[in-house]
Structure 1
Amino acid sequence: MSERDTYVAELIQLDGRGDHVSGICGGCHAPALSRCLDCDDLQLYCHECTVSNHVRSPTHRIQEWTGEFFQGVSLKTFGLRVQLGHPAGQRCILPRPAFNDEFVLIDINGIHEVGLDFCGCETSDTHVRQLLRHGWFPSTSIDPRTAVTFRLLRHFQILSFESKASAYEYYHSLVRLTDNTGLSKPKDRYNAFMRMVREWRHLKMLKRFGRGHEASGVEGTSQGECVVICPACPQPGMNLPDGWEHATKDKQWLYATFVAIDANFRLKRRNVSTNEADPSLSKGWSYFVEEADCKSYLAEHLGEAQEKSTCSSHNAVNMADTKLSQGLAATGVGTIDCARHNMKRGNGVGDLQKGEKYINMDYLFFSTLCNNSLKILNVSYDIACQWHKHIWSRMESLPQSHHLNHVSKTIRFFVPKFHLPVHVAKCQSLFSFNFTRFVGRTDGEAPERGWSNINPVASSTKNMGPGCRRDTLDDHFGDWNWKKVVGLGALLLNKMKDALVERAEHQAAFDEFDTVISIKHRATWLSEMVIWEQNPNDTSVPNPLETKAIAITQAGARLRLAELEANELERGIDVSLHPEVSPSVLIASGLDLEEEQHRLKSLVESMGMHVTDTQRGSIVRMRNSLRRKIETWGRVQILYMPAVLQGGRDDQHNAEDIILSLPSWMKNKPCDQRLQNNEWELRYAQAYDALEELRQCLRIHCSLLTFKREWVHGQGANTRAQNALTRVHARRTACVKRYRSAWTALKALAMLLKKRDWKGRLQELADDHIKPLVDPFGVGEGRRQVSWIWMMEGIDCNGDCDDDGKHQCYSRIKSDVLPGVRIEWCKSRVRALRWTEEVELLTEEMGRVIRFLHWDAQRWDERRSRLAVENPAHTEGLHAYAARQAHIRRRLAAHFHALWAPYLMPTLGPGINTTHAELSLPDLTMPDAPLMDADGFCDNHT
C-alpha cells in the first residue's frame, strides 16, 4: 500500500521515452524514434534498426514517438517484408508479393498487415506450403490472403479447453489488442479465423492418431479410429494378459466392460445451415457417429411409438415426444461413456431430435459396442429398468454391422446410484450396483461428472452449423479423455487408498455384526443371499433384501377396524351408541384431536417472548376452534365413557392442555374393553407411523447437513439452508413426541388388557436412540451401532398372536423373524464384498494401464518406419514424431508405476519393464520434464 505512488509513477514514465530521451539510436547513431512493446527491452531505435531487429518477429507491436507521445505503427510502414521460401534475412531472386501486399497475419499480439513476398524460384513450392513451413496456417488452399500463426492456434485450442472461451470472444480480444479505441479497426477476418481454427483441430487430430504415418493416408481412416482410448478398461490385444479368455469363473468378472449411458439437453443446436453446406470433416472418425447413416436409420424409425414407463414417472421416457424442439435441429446429445473412468467412447455420441428416445440411444449403444469381444458387459442407464426390456428385439432393426452377439455374453443392466432412489422399490434391488456381485464400487454416474466440463461450450456451439459443432465437440471430448488418461495416476492411487481403508472398516463392521447373529439365522440368510445373487432376475427366487412384512400404518389400522365393524353390522350386531360415530371412529377422532393439541402447543412454544398482536390473534382463533371440536367430541364420548364425568373437565385450561380422557387414561375407572382394544390397535399403528416418519426426518436432516457442508456458501444461502434444517428438526421433534405418547398409552393399556410380551421390537425411545442409520459426522463404519429404530420392518409376532401365529388385528400379515436385522445383515455383507471387489478391480486396472501404455509405445515405434517417402525432411519428421510419442507413453508408464508400486501385482505381463533404470528415463520429478505440453496431447517438445 505504501508503494502505490512509486508504482504509478513508473507506469506513467513508460508512456514517455523514459531513460532514452537522448533520441539517438545506439547501433547507427541515427534519430531513434521507435520502440517495441513485445521485445524484452524498451530501447529506442531508428527505423532501419527496428526492421533489422524484427526480421524474425514480424508480428511484434511497434510504437513511434511523435514528439509528444507514442503512437502505434506497423512494421510494414517501416519497410519490413517477410520473405518465404528462404532463410530469414535472405531475399529471393524472384520474389512475388502477396496480392498487392494485402496480407493479414493473426497472432497472439494482435492482427497485423504484413509485407509478404512468396518465393518465385523455379524450385519454389506452392504458396500454401511456403506459409505452412514458415509456421503460418493459411485461411484457404487457393490464393491465401490471411494466415494465423501456429503459436496462436495452439494457444486458442488450449484456452478453449480450459476456459471454454469461444472463437468470437478470442478473435475480438485480438482486435482490441490491435486497437482498443475502435478508431483504426483491422480488416475483419473473423470468418477466416473460424475456418482456420476448425481445420487446425481436425488436422491435429489426424496427426495425433497416426494417420500421417499410414500408407492409406487420411482417407483410410476407419470409424471411431481417432479416439483417446481408456487404458484402464479391458482392451483385447492391447492391455489384457495372455490367457485372459480362459480365466476361472471367479476371475472372469475382472475383464468386463463397464459402460454408462446418458443424455445432455444443454448441448442444443439451432436449426441453422445444413449438412450439405457445413459437413463434418471427421465423418464419424472420432466420438460422434457418422451422420448420414445415423440420420437414415432414424428417418425410418422415428415415427415408431415408444413404450411408456411402468416404473416411476420418467420424463425422459414418457415425455420424449413432448420435448420443445421448435427452432432446434438437435435438442441435445446422447453419449456412451466408460462407467468407471469417465471417458467418452468412440462412435458413442450423437444428436437427439425429440427427447431421450430409445432409437437414438440404441443406435449409439450398438455403434460403440459392435466390435466388442469381451464376455461380460455391465450397462448403466438412469432408465435401464425400462430401456432394457425389448432391447434385443429393437436391435434386429439396426444394420447388421451394429448387431451384438448377446447370447454368448453375460449382460447386466444397472441404474446409477444417485438416480436409483426415485425408482420403485423393486428396481432399487434388481438394478442396484450395491447389491450386485462383481462390480466393485462402480456408481454409474460417470457421464454426469463430464457434463459440468462440456456444458459451458453450449452457448457457442448452439449457433454453429452441424459439421462445425460436431468437430468442435469431438475436439473437446478428445481433450477430456486425454486429461483423464494423464490423471489416471492420481485417480487410481486415491481410489486404492480409499478402498483399502473402507474394505477394512466394512469387513470389521460386518464381522462385528455377524457375531451377534445366531448360527441358524446366519446360515439361512447366507444361503438365501447367495441364491438370489446368482439369479437376481429370477422372480421365483425371493429377494432377501426386500421386507417380507407389511408395514403397519394408522390408515391401515383404521381400515381394519372399520372392516370389523362392517362385519358385525352384517351379522346384526351394532354396539354403536351414536348414529354417526362408532367406537373406532370415536377413538380415532380422539387421537386426531390429540395430534392437533400437540401441533398447537408446539406453535405456541415457538412464538418466543415478543409476540405480535397478529400472532396472538391467530393463536386465540386456533384455540377457540380446537375447543369447539373437543366439546363436540366430548358430548359423544360421554355416551361411550360416562366415567369421564366423575372428574369433569377443567374449562379454564387452554384448549391444547385439555385432558381428553381416552381409555388409556382411565386407569381405575370403568371403561368398555372394546374401546380399549380399539385404542390399542390405533396406538400400536401410531407408534409404527411415528417411527417411519422419524426415520424419514433423520434421512432428510442428514442429507441436508451434507449438502450444506459441501455446497452452501454465503450468508443468504446458509440462512435458507438453516431454515430448512430447522423445519425438519421441528418435524422430527413432533414425531418423537407422538411416539412417546403412543408408548405411554400402550404401557397403560397393556396393564388394563393383561397383555404379555406385547413390546416385540418396540422400545422406549431415549434421546440417544434418535440417530441416523449412517451419520456422516459420526463415528466410522466399524464402530457405529445401529439404533433399534432402523430395525423396524412391519409387524413382529413375538408376542400378541392368535392360535395361528398371526397378529389379532393384522391377520393377513406374514410373520418374519427379525426382518430389520436380516436386511441390515445382508446389506452389511454386500458392503464388505463390494469394497473387497473394488480393491481387486483397481489392482487389475493399474496393471492394464501400464500394459496399455507400453503397447501404445510399441505401436508408435512400429510407425517410425512404416511409411516410405522420398523426401528426407519428411522422413525425419515421421521418425521424430513417432519416437517422441513412444517416449511420452513410456514416461507415463514409469510415472504411474512409481506411484502404484506398493499396490501392483509382481508381474504385469511379458516384456514389460517399468523401473527408471531399465527405461533410462530422466528424473520424473524434474520441473523441466513436463508430461504434457501446451497443446494438450503431448504434441510439442518435451
Structure 2
Amino acid sequence: MKQADVRIGTPCACGNAIREVRCLDCTQFSPLCRSCWVDAHKHHPFHWAEVWSHERGYFVRQDISVLLDSDYGIPLGHNGERCPKASKAILMTVVDLNGVHATKITTCQCGDNGRWRQLFDADLFPATVAEPQTAFTFRLLRDWQIMTLQSKITAYHYIRALRRLTDNVFTGNVPDPYKQFMFVTRIWPLLEAEKRFGRLHGDGMNELFPRRPKGNLMLYCPACPEPDVNMESGWERTPSHLCHLHSLKRTVDGNFKTGNYDKKNDTNDVSLFGGRAYMPSEQRYQHYLETVPQLQKEKTTCNHLNVANGVNRAKFKNQRITGNINVQCEHIFVRSSVDMTYGERYHFSFSHALVDLAMELDLEAAIFDKGHEPDCIWSYDNMCGLTPNISQRWHKYHKRFAYQIDKSRWLIPACHVKGHGPGCVPLYCYVYKPCTSHFHAETAEYGWAVFNGVGPSVLQMNPGHRIDTLVIHYGDWNWRKTVGLARQLVKDLNHAKKQYIEKRDHFIGLCELNESRVVAWSAMDRSPRVDPRNKRSVISVYEHNHEKAPTLKALVDRLMSSKDTITVSSGDVKVGAAVSWLQEGLALAQLQSRIRRIAKTCKANPTTEVRSRRTKLSTRIDKWRKEQTRFMRSIAPQLVGQSAEEPEDRCLFLPSDFSASDRQKFRLLGLGNKQVQMLEVALGDIINTLQTTCKTLTAAYERKIKHARGQDANTRSNQEIRSIEAKRETLIADYMLFRDALHALGALDEVKWRPLTAKDTFRKSTEKRRTPGDSQVTEGNLWNMTRAGFSTSDPKIAARPRKAVLKVNTPDPNKTRTEQQSENPGVPPEGWIWSSGRLKNMSATEIEAWEETNDRIQWFRAEADFERWQECVESLHAEFTRVIARFAKDRDSWATLATKYTPTAGHVAYAKEHADMFESLRVDAEMKFRHAQLDFLKTSAGETLADRVLLWRANQETAFGFDRYVCQF
C-alpha cells in the first residue's frame, strides 16, 4: 500500500530533522525532511508535497510554499536559487498539469525585469501583463493545445478536470482560473503559429515566399502546384492533353455544424489572426456582405436543387452564422473558409456569392503569373446551380481572378451527382472528364467529421474567439496531413497502378472484342451536349439517350437466330449457343440465391423441401457444367472439387465471377459482353414483374380489410398476402443479384439501376377512397422505374420533396436519402422504379440497335475508367515530385533564416531544427517514392515528367491500334 511509508519518522540524510515529506510526482523518491524536500524541488516547484500528519495518521497534500516559514516563495530570476534582494512573498495561482496551485513567489530585485518577464523566463505564462496574479506553465499550455486539437475537449472541462485533480472532494474550494485560461489560450496559439511560420525571424519568410500573402499563417499542401516553390522547371511546356500533371483540383463544400448563436457578444472580441489564415478578416467579410448581392436566383430544373430548396430554415433559428463553406484541395488540405450568414436576404444554406468569396481566397493564397496558370478544376455539390452566371459575377465582383474562372472546369462529387438530374451526370461527373485523374471529390466530407467536434463549442463563442478556434483546428488538420502525405501518396500510387492494369486489360479486351467498330467509335465526340429537341436532357456517348429496352425473351430469341459468332477460350462459337448457356447460368444463380434464403431458416435440420430443391439444383448444375467446358475450357482445372459443396454454395464461374484481368486472361470477354446485355434486360423484366406483384399485394390488403370476415377468411387472406410478399422479396433479391453481377462486370449504371429494398415498392392504394393527407405522400421508388431503368421523363416529379401525412417534414439537403428515411419511419420513401406507362415490344431491328448502343456505351465507359486511372498514375508521380521539392524548399528557407535573419541564438537554433525536420521529411518522401514509382517515368537531366509520359503513352498505344489521345473539353 502506498498510503504509508515505513521510512517516515526516521532521521533525514541531512541529520537536522526527520523524514516527513514525500513526492509522488517524482519516480522512486525517498521521503525527506521539509527543508531537504524544498531544496530537492527547487527545479520542480509544482510537484505536490505529501506531508505526513501525526495527528491524522496519513499523508496530507500541500503546496511547496507552505512547507517552510511564511516568507518563503518560489524564487524567480536566479535559476531556482533565492535572490539576495528578493521581494516579499506574493500570492499566486499557478496552474500545472497536476492541478491548481495556490502558492507564493518571490521576484528578483537585482535587475530591471518586471514580474511578467520573470514569470515568462521561468516557463510560466502570466494571465496579465501588469502585476499578474495567475500564471500557467508552458507544459500545461502545450498539453492543452494537443488535447483540444486531438480530442476536441473544451477549456471548461479541461480546467474542471485540473481542479478535480487538485481536490476531488471539495472542488469548489479550489481557485477557478477559467477566465484567465480563456484569455491565455487565445494568445498562446497565435504565438506558436508566429514562431512555426518563421514570422519571428523578421521579414524573411515574406522575401523567401513572395507570392504568398504577407504575414501568412496558413499551412499549404506540399503536393499541390505552387509557383516558384515546388513545380519543375519547364512545366509550362506541358501539352494540354497532359494538363492533369499540374492541375489545381479544389473541392467546395458547406457544413452546418460550426454555426454561431446571435446573442450579445463582446464588441472588443476580434480575431487575433486578423485574416492571415484560412478565413477573411471581419472588415473584409462585412464589406463583402454589404456590397455583393447574396441571393442568386438562377433558374434550374435539377432534382438536387428542387429538393434542396425545401430545406427547413427553422433549424437555424437564433443563429447569426449557420456554418462554414470550405475550399479544400484534393489532398484534403483546408485552403479557405467563409462563414455562412443567415437572414432573409441570404440563401437558405449558402449563396453563390459566399462560395465565390471562398474561391477567391483560395486563388489569393498563391498567385500564378497571368497566362502561366495551370488548369483549375472545381468540384461542388451544387455546381449546376453555381456555374450558369459565374463568369458575369466574377467579372463584376472578382475581376482580379475572373480570367482564371473563365478557364476553369467544373465537377460535382461522384456520389453527390447521383442525386442530381440525369443531365448532370454526363456534364459534371469526373469519370467522363478528360485530364481529371481520379478526382472523385468526395474527400470534401472527410474533414467535417473532425471539425464537427468543435461545433458545440464555437456555437456559443464570441465571434473573434470562434474564428481563432476554427483557424487553429484547420492548421492542425493541415499539419497532420503534411506529415502523413508521403505515406498516403504511396498508398494511392500502389492502388492506382493496380487499378490501371485492371482497367487497361479490360479495355484492351473490349477493343479486341469490338475490333470492327472501335475505329468509328474512337472518332466520336466525347463531349456532352444538350439535346436540341429536349433542353432538359443531355446527349452523351456514355449514356443511353432513350428509354426503350427489349424483353429478355425478345433479346434471346434474336440472338438464338443470329448467325454471328463470338470468341471464347476454345475458339469461335455461335452466339445463340453461348446465350442459351448463359441464360441457364443466370437461372441457376437465381435458384442458388433462393435456396440459400430458405436454408437459413433450417440450417441445422434441412427440411424435405430444401433437400428436394438441392437435388434438383445439383442435377441441373452437373448438366450445365458439361456444356461449360465448351465455352470456358481455360478454367476447367478450377471446376474440380465443386461437387463436394452444397449446390447453392458452388461457384458457377460465370464471367461476372472473374475479375477484369482474369476475364482477359481466360478469354471470357465475349461471354462477359453478352452477359452484360442479358443482365440489363433481365433487370428490366424483374422491374415489370415486381410492379405487377406489388399491385397485386396492395389489392390483396384492400380485399382483406373489405371482405375478410371470420377466422377462415382471415387465414386464407393472410396466406395469400404472405405468398405475394414472399414473391416480392424473391424478386428484390433477384434484382440485387443481377445488379451485383453487372457491377462485377464493370458495366453498372448506378443512376439507372439503383439499390432496391421493400420500402421502394410502396404504392398508394387505387381501390380505397382518398383520405386526408394522401396528397402529401409520394409513391415508392418502384413506380419511377421502367424496363430501361430509372425514369427521367419528369425530373421535377422525381425530385419533389417528401412530406409526412398531416405533418410536413422538410428534408435536410446535407443528409442522404437513407438518413432522411430513418428519421421519418412513418413516411413512405420516394420512388425510382414505378412507371406510369408500359413499353412496347421492340422489333428485331430495334433490338439490334439497342445491342449496338449497349456495346458502345460499355466501351466508352471502359475507356473513361482506363484513362482516369492512367491519369491518376501520372498525376501521383507529379505530386510526389512536388512534395519532395516543397520539403526541400522549406529546408532551404529555414536554413537561410538561420544564417541571415537571426536576432538571437535561440532564433538560430529554432531555424536549424526546422531545417533538419523538413530535410527528414524530404528524405522520407524520396525513399517512399523511389520504391513506388514506375521506372519508365523516372526523369533525367533536362527532361520533364510530361516528356516521359508522352513516351510511355506512345508505348502503351501499340496495344490499341488507334490514336485515342485527342483531349476534348
Alpha-carbon shift at residue 730 of structure 1 (Å): 14
**Cα gap change, 1:467/1:223 in structure 2, threshold over 3 Å: closer, same or farther?**
farther
Cα distance in 2 for residues equivalent to 1:438 and 1:237: 23
Cα distance in 1 for residues equivalent to 2:308 and 2:839: 34
Amino acid at match of 1:168: Y
**Cα gap change, 1:251/1:591 in structure 2, threshold over 3 Å: closer, same or farther?**
closer
Pairing partner for 1:361 from 355, 369, 373: 355
Cα distance in 2 for residues equivalent to 1:908 and 1:319: 58
Q: Do the aligned partners of 2:206 and 2:215 also contact (CA within 8 Å) in 1?
A: no
Q: Do the aligned partners of 1:549 and 1:816 also contact (CA within 8 Å) in 2?
A: no
Pairing partner for 1:818 from 847, 852, 859: 852
* Residue 88 of structure 1: aligned partner: 80
* Residue 523 of structure 1: aligned partner: 519
**Cα gap change, 1:655/1:820 in structure 2, threshold over 3 Å: closer, same or farther?**
closer
- Bigger CA drift: 217-226 or 78-87? 217-226
Amino acid at match of 1:381: Y
Q: Do the aligned partners of 1:332 and 1:351 also contact (CA within 8 Å) in 2?
A: yes
Q: Do the aligned partners of 1:36 and 1:60 also contact (CA within 8 Å) in 2?
A: yes
Q: Do the aligned partners of 1:309 and 1:317 also contact (CA within 8 Å) in 2?
A: no
* Residue 711 of structure 1: aligned partner: none
* Residue 189 of structure 2: aligned partner: 201
Q: Do the aligned partners of 1:851 and 1:908 also contact (CA within 8 Å) in 2?
A: no
Alpha-carbon shift at residue 796 of structure 1 (Å): 8.7
Alpha-carbon shift at residue 30 of structure 1 (Å): 1.3
1:385 and 2:481 are equivalent in the alignment:
no
* Residue 591 of structure 2: aligned partner: none
* Residue 476 of structure 1: aligned partner: 473
Alpha-carbon shift at residue 895 of structure 1 (Å): 0.9
1:875-929 deviations in Å (ceiling 9; x for gaps): 11111111111110010010111112033454588999xxxxxxxxxxxxxxxxx
Cα distance in 2 for residues equivalent to 1:502 and 1:231: 25
**Cα gap change, 1:27/1:728 in structure 2, threshold over 3 Å: closer, same or farther?**
farther
1:102 and 2:96 are equivalent in the alignment:
no
1:854 and 2:903 are equivalent in the alignment:
no
Structure 2 unmatched ranges of 5 or more: 343-347, 552-687, 702-707, 725-729, 744-754, 764-786, 788-837, 945-969
* Residue 270 of structure 2: aligned partner: 279
1:31 and 2:28 are equivalent in the alignment:
no
1:451 and 2:448 are equivalent in the alignment:
yes
* Residue 67 of structure 2: aligned partner: 78
What SS does the corresponding residue of 2:287 show, helix, strand or coil? helix
**Cα gap change, 1:907/1:691 in structure 2, threshold over 3 Å: closer, same or farther?**
same
* Residue 425 of structure 1: aligned partner: 422
Matches within 5 A, 1:498-537: 498-519=495-516, 521-528=517-524, 531-533=525-527
Amino acid at match of 2:548: A
Cα distance in 2 for residues equivalent to 1:908 and 1:228: 31
Cα distance in 1 for residues equivalent to 2:117 and 2:84: 19
* Residue 159 of structure 1: aligned partner: 147
* Residue 434 of structure 1: aligned partner: 431
Pairing partner for 1:46 from 8, 30, 33: 33
Q: Give the root-mean-square deviation of aligned CA atoms.
A: 4.1
Cα distance in 2 for residues equivalent to 1:618 and 1:701: 40
Cα distance in 2 for residues equivalent to 1:889 and 1:526: 47
1:232 and 2:239 are equivalent in the alignment:
no
Alpha-carbon shift at residue 226 of structure 1 (Å): 0.8
Larger radius of gyration: 1
**Cα gap change, 1:498/1:397 in structure 2, threshold over 3 Å: closer, same or farther?**
same
**Cα gap change, 1:727/1:201 in structure 2, threshold over 3 Å: closer, same or farther?**
same
Q: Do the aligned partners of 1:309 and 1:318 also contact (CA within 8 Å) in 2?
A: no
What SS does the corresponding residue of 2:297 show, helix, strand or coil? coil
Alignment length (residue pairs) = 691
Q: Do the aligned partners of 1:363 and 1:398 also contact (CA within 8 Å) in 2?
A: no
Pairing partner for 1:546 from 523, 543, 556: 543
The normalised TM-score by structure 2 is 0.65
Q: Do the aligned partners of 2:296 and 2:351 also contact (CA within 8 Å) in 1?
A: no
Cα distance in 1 for residues equivalent to 2:59 and 2:710: 73
Cα distance in 2 for residues equivalent to 1:594 and 1:212: 75
- Bigger CA drift: 291-300 or 498-507? 291-300
Alpha-carbon shift at residue 251 of structure 1 (Å): 2.8
* Residue 879 of structure 2: aligned partner: 845
**Cα gap change, 1:186/1:218 in structure 2, threshold over 3 Å: closer, same or farther?**
farther
* Residue 213 of structure 1: aligned partner: 201
Matches within 5 A, 1:366-377: 366-370=360-364, 372-373=367-368, 374-377=373-376
**Cα gap change, 1:595/1:133 in structure 2, threshold over 3 Å: closer, same or farther?**
closer
Alpha-carbon shift at residue 102 of structure 1 (Å): 2.1
What SS does the corresponding residue of 1:362 show, helix, strand or coil? helix
Cα distance in 2 for residues equivalent to 1:524 and 1:796: 29
Alpha-carbon shift at residue 72 of structure 1 (Å): 1.3
Alpha-carbon shift at residue 202 of structure 1 (Å): 0.9
Cα distance in 1 for residues equivalent to 2:881 and 2:457: 40
Matches within 5 A, 1:389-788: 389-398=388-397, 400=399, 403-406=401-404, 410-519=407-516, 521-528=517-524, 531-533=525-527, 542-551=539-548, 595=693, 617-621=713-717, 699=739
1:206-246 deviations in Å (ceiling 9; x for gaps): 11111100149999994681111100011111010111112
1:342 and 2:340 are equivalent in the alignment:
no
* Residue 898 of structure 2: aligned partner: 864
The normalised TM-score by structure 1 is 0.67
Cα distance in 1 for residues equivalent to 2:96 and 2:410: 51
Cα distance in 2 for residues equivalent to 1:596 and 1:59: 75
Alpha-carbon shift at residue 866 of structure 1 (Å): 3.4
Amino acid at match of 1:547: H
* Residue 878 of structure 1: aligned partner: 907
Matches within 5 A, 1:296-311: 296-301=287-292, 304=295, 306-311=297-302
Matches within 5 A, 1:10-29: 13-17=1-5, 19-28=6-15
Alpha-carbon shift at residue 691 of structure 1 (Å): 10
Q: Do the aligned partners of 2:98 and 2:166 also contact (CA within 8 Å) in 1?
A: yes
Q: Do the aligned partners of 2:360 and 2:398 also contact (CA within 8 Å) in 1?
A: no
**Cα gap change, 1:400/1:119 in structure 2, threshold over 3 Å: closer, same or farther?**
farther
Cα distance in 1 for residues equivalent to 2:268 and 2:451: 26
Q: Do the aligned partners of 1:269 and 1:461 also contact (CA within 8 Å) in 2?
A: yes
Alpha-carbon shift at residue 26 of structure 1 (Å): 3.1
Alpha-carbon shift at residue 168 of structure 1 (Å): 0.9
* Residue 328 of structure 1: aligned partner: 319
Cα distance in 2 for residues equivalent to 1:321 and 1:596: 33
**Cα gap change, 1:297/1:542 in structure 2, threshold over 3 Å: closer, same or farther?**
same
**Cα gap change, 1:352/1:343 in structure 2, threshold over 3 Å: closer, same or farther?**
farther
Pairing partner for 2:929 from 888, 900, 913: 900
Alpha-carbon shift at residue 152 of structure 1 (Å): 0.7
Amino acid at match of 1:412: R
Structure 1 unmatched ranges of 5 or more: 1-12, 555-589, 604-611, 627-653, 657-689, 704-722, 732-741, 743-792, 808-813, 870-874, 913-942
What SS does the corresponding residue of 1:442 show, helix, strand or coil? coil
Cα distance in 1 for residues equivalent to 2:140 and 2:942: 44
**Cα gap change, 1:245/1:48 in structure 2, threshold over 3 Å: closer, same or farther?**
same
Cα distance in 2 for residues equivalent to 1:161 and 1:613: 67
Q: Do the aligned partners of 1:224 and 1:286 also contact (CA within 8 Å) in 2?
A: no
1:293-325 deviations in Å (ceiling 9; x for gaps): 111211334564533542114379625794643
Alpha-carbon shift at residue 141 of structure 1 (Å): 1.8
